[in-house]
Structure 1
Amino acid sequence: MSEPKPERESLRILAVDPALRNTGYALLQRDGKTITSITYGVIQNPAKLLPSGCLVAIREKLNELIVEFRPTECAIESTIFVQSYRTAITLGAVRGAVLIAAAEHGLPIYDYAPREVKQAAVGKGAADKTQVAFMMRSILRLRETPPPDAADALAVGLAHLQASSAGLATNRDRQRA
Structure 2
Amino acid sequence: MGISIRDYQTLEARLRRPGRNTDPTQTVAPAITEGLVLGVDPSLRGTGYGLVEKRGAELRAVAYGTVLCPRTWSRTTCLAAIAQTLRQIVQSHHPTIAVFEGLFHARNLRTALIMGEARGAALSVLAEAGLEIYEIAPRRLKLAVTGHGAAGKQAVANMVRRMLNLTNTPRSDETDALALALAHWQALSRPWTGLSKRI
> Structures share a fold, TM > 0.5?
yes
Q: Is 1:20 the equivalent of 2:44?
A: yes
Find 1:146's aligned residue among 170, 192, 196: 170
Amino acid at match of 2:42: P
CA distance, structure 2, for counterparts of residue 22 and residue 128 of structure 1: 19
Q: Is 1:110 the equivalent of 2:110?
A: no
Find 2:105's aligned residue among 81, 85, 98: 81
Q: CA deviation at 1:8?
A: 2.8
Q: TM-score, normalised by structure 1?
A: 0.90
Find 1:137's aligned residue among 161, 178, 188: 161
Q: State how 1:160-171 maps to structure 2 within 5 Å.
A: 160-168=184-192
- 1:68-91: CA deviation from partner (whole Å, max 9, x where unpaired): 010010101122221211111111
| Residues 98 and 168 (structure 1), Cα distance of their counterparts in 2 relative to 1, 3 Å cut | farther
Equivalent residue number for residue 119 of structure 2:
95
Q: Is 1:126 the equivalent of 2:113?
A: no
Seq. identity, %: 39
- 1:114-137: CA deviation from partner (whole Å, max 9, x where unpaired): 112211221111111111111111
CA distance, structure 2, for counterparts of residue 126 and residue 55 of structure 1: 30
Q: State how 1:6-85 maps to structure 2 within 5 Å.
A: 7-85=31-109
CA distance, structure 1, for counterparts of residue 54 and residue 86 of structure 2: 20
Please tell me the root mean square deviation across aligned C-alpha atoms, in Å.
Answer: 1.6
CA distance, structure 1, for counterparts of residue 167 and residue 125 of structure 2: 29
Q: Can you give the 5+ residue segments of structure 1 that lack an aligned partner in the other structure?
A: 1-5
Q: CA deviation at 1:94?
A: 0.9
Q: Is the 8 A contact 2:33 2:188 kept in 1?
A: no
Q: Is the 8 A contact 1:136 1:155 kept in 2?
A: yes
Q: Is the 8 A contact 1:79 1:91 kept in 2?
A: no
Q: Can you give the 5+ residue segments of structure 2 that lack an aligned partner in the other structure?
A: 1-29
